Amino acid sequence: MKEEVKMARKKRVPVVIEIRDSHEVEGETRASEFLCDGVLTELPDDKGGGWELDYVESDGPETSRAALRVQNRTVSLSRRGAYPLEITLEQGVRHNCYYNTPAGMMHLGVYARSVESSISRAGGKIKLAYTLDFCADMMSSNQMEIKVQARG
């Protein structure tokens, strides 16, 4: 049992995370960049393998805990805090998600045009290109790049 716990601990790596994203809405593009510390965890094969990236997002006084799970061509984001979110980005597939905002809950469609990942214990990149729609009307076209680098 103790050996299993040690093995699990070895799979957790402290990392620096850089997130760059852009959103195009009605011809206008907005971009942002976010830098934080996090933990990268290798998921066991019996859980589907892949990686999970845990970090804290801050937007002024609001903070949220985020967990980004990468498995093959699928990325799932779970955010807890002021504005909870559960979203799945699977290349070539449209998923529905619920996004809590200050104005209330929104039901959105998410279509991932591209999901690329080159994550390893040393870090790597996740690149996403996706659209968001509301009531089947396109809201935005989005791109996100997440760079992960192991500390020390």
Please state the pTM of the whole predicted model: 0.86
The range of the structural domain enclosing residue 98 comes to: 2-150
Query: Token pair for residue 120?
Result: 């390893």
Residue 143: which CATH number?
2.40.128.20
Band the pLDDT of 123: cuts 50, 70, 90.
Answer: very high
Contacts of 101 (CB under 8 A, 6+ apart): 83
User: What pLDDT, on the 0 to 100 scale, is given for residue 69?
Assistant: 96
Band the pLDDT of 41: cuts 50, 70, 90.
Answer: very high
Mean pLDDT across the stretch 44-73? 88
User: What pLDDT, on the 0 to 100 scale, is given for residue 4?
Assistant: 53
- Into how many domains does the chain fold? 1
